[in-house]
């Protein structure tokens, strides 16, 4: 990633990774439609699969669309794992803290 991220970019990603509350809020915004729409608490017609089914789309095209959207979920999930790799906060165990 050194070829496209500046040090400032990396620092900002570190701040996001360290701030769990902000990171989770951003993740919810990015992934809400993919993860949550269509669950029992949401309108099922907002579900990314159910909303695309109709009599005008072929099974083959529907399958390709589902595959593409599933890959998008994987890509976004991986992106958040990459962001986590920029964490700067060191975790100290209680035992380490006592012996300091």
- In a domain, residue 87? The reply is yes
Question: Considering the entire predicted model, what is its pTM?
Answer: 0.66
Distance CA(38)–CA(48), nearest Å, equals: 8
Q: What is the mean pLDDT of residues 50-57?
A: 75
- In a domain, residue 79? The reply is yes
- In a domain, residue 2? The reply is no
- In a domain, residue 32? The reply is yes
89-92 CB contacts, 8 Å cutoff, 24+ apart: 89/18
- Torsion angle of C-alpha atoms 44, 49, 50, 55, degrees rounded to 10: 170
- In a domain, residue 1? The reply is no
| Alpha helix ranges (H) inside the chain | 7-18, 20-35, 59-84, 94-98
Q: Is 28 or 90 the better-scoring residue by pLDDT?
A: 28
- In a domain, residue 24? The reply is yes
**Domain range enclosing 68:** 7-98
Distance CA(34)–CA(87), nearest Å, equals: 26
- In a domain, residue 14? The reply is yes
Q: What is the mean pLDDT of residues 28-38?
A: 70
Mean pLDDT (the chain) is: 81
pLDDT above 70 (res 31): yes
- In a domain, residue 22? The reply is yes
Count the domains in the chain: 1
């Amino acid at each position: 990633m050194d070829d496209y991220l500046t040090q400032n970019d990396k620092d900002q990603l570190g701040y996001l990774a360290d701030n769990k509350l902000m990171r989770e809020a951003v993740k919810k915004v990015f992934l809400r439609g993919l993860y949550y729409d269509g669950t029992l608490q949401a309108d099922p017609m907002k579900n990314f699969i159910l909303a695309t089914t109709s009599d005008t789309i072929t099974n083959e095209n529907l399958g390709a669309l589902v595959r593409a959207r599933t890959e998008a979920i994987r890509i976004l999930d991986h992106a958040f794992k990459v962001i986590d790799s920029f964490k700067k906060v060191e975790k100290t165990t209680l035992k380490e803290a006592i012996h300091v």
